[in-house]
Amino acid sequence: MTSANGIVSVIIPNYNGEKYLADCLGSLAKQSFSQVEIIVVDNASTDRSTEIIRQRFPSVRLVPLSANRGFAAAVNRGIKTANGNYIILLNNDTQADVNFVRALHAALERDPQAAMAAPKMLFLKNPERVNSAGLGYSITGTNHDIGFGRLDGPDFRTPAWIFGPCGGAGIYRREIFDEVGEFDEDLFMYYEDVDFCFRAQLSGFKCIFVPDAIVYHAEGGSSASLPKPKNFYFARNSLWVIIKNFPVKTLFAYLPAILWEMLKRAFSPLLKGDPSAVIGYCSAIKSLRKYLEKRREVQRLVRAPIHDIEQLLKKNRSVCKEINIHGRPCEERL
């Protein structure tokens, strides 16, 4: 595989996305940045997705998989296929502003400290409100979309250092994957972005929020046809990410708060007759040995001061509390 300076590879994982693909790919075809390579990795769709791509977007590189292997596997395959020095991951249910790619590319070119960048994601049907200004992850093990549901105003017009891009839209320097590794395919769905960004932060890679890069999201579209229940994956994967990535000192210092969040996540659906979160935690515990081995690999990558990581996660904890006050569970992002 060769890599070319200046090329931005846009990777779109797709599963039964015929409802959204044409609008998504159409918006990318209109980008003001010319050196764009578009790759759709199809997770064995049973709808007309591949037909739409072949007939209407022949310049798009279609990478078909033989089975639905989930977000992480599709993204990993796309990265291996891509030729660009910059990688954009994009949900199939998004529509990009004409300067979306240009703004993200310029942000990384402008700031050598940034290895990742997050755009401003607005609701497609309610574009005056923010869907995500990047990914947040708190010291209690919960994640959230920064700014979710807030009016797009002055708070979202200034670049800022954040935890990472959400999986639905973000740009990465290619070398970050060489250093940090791939997305964890065992997660299948949910928390793949949290896990990757946590590893990146531990390795010393930073992420910047880019307010001029705008993308619109039809919330829920990309996950509507994926396996359920969500609560199982939220619970299992959240525990896996904690086991795999949390610094030991931080983990023990905040263990009561982490356990409290786990209990809430388990018993809230259980009181409604849904045991899937409890089953998810049990599944995570069964794989404890495997994830302790993964943890050893992650700890060998740690270069960032643990104090800096703690401060970033503490900042995100206060944001997560604010979101919960307004009735939006931190994990409910898709």
Mean pLDDT of 10-18: 97
Q: How many other C-beta atoms lie within 10 A of the C-beta of residue 1?
A: 7
Averaged pLDDT for residues 96-112: 98
In a domain, 285, yes or no: yes
pLDDT value, residue 229: 75
**What does 31-61 look like in DSSP terms, one character per residue?**
-S-S-EEEEEEE---SSSHHHHHHHH-TTSE
Question: Which domain covers residue 152, as residue numbers?
Answer: 7-334
Domain holding 113: CATH number?
3.90.550.10
For CA atoms 231, 208, 106, 155, the dihedral sign is positive
Q: Which amino acid is at 101?
A: V
CB burial of residue 67 (10 Å; 0-12, 13-18, 19+)? exposed
Place of tokens 């020095």: 85
**Cis before 269? omega within 30:** no
Q: Which two tokens stand for residue 270?
A: 């259980």
30: in domain: yes
Decide if 1 is inside a domain. no
State the pLDDT at residue 220. 57
Residue 164 CA to its chain's centroid (Å):
8
DSSP label of 126: S
Could you tell me if residue 63 is inside a domain?
A: yes
Any domain includes 2: no
Asked if 332 and 233 count as a contact pair (C-beta separation under 8 A), the reply is no
Q: Considering the entire predicted model, what is its pTM? A: 0.91
Q: What is the DSSP string of 150-172?
A: -BSSGGGSS-EEESB--TTEEEE
What total of structural domains would you count in the chain?
1
Q: Say if residues 328 and 148 touch (Cβ distance below 8 Å).
A: yes
Q: Is residue 241 part of a domain?
A: yes
**What digits encode the pLDDT tens for the residues 32-57?**
999 999 999 999 999 999 999 999 99
Write out pLDDT tens, residues 228-259. Answer: 578 999 999 999 999 999 999 999 999 999 99
The 3-state DSSP class for residue 111 equals: coil
Q: Residue 31 domain-assigned?
A: yes
pLDDT of residue 5: 61
Region 178-197 average pLDDT? 96
- For residue 219, being part of any structural domain is answered with yes
Provide the percentage of residues in the chain whose pLDDT is more than 70. 90
**Contact, 311 vs 201, CB < 8 A?**
no
One-letter amino acid at 126 equals N
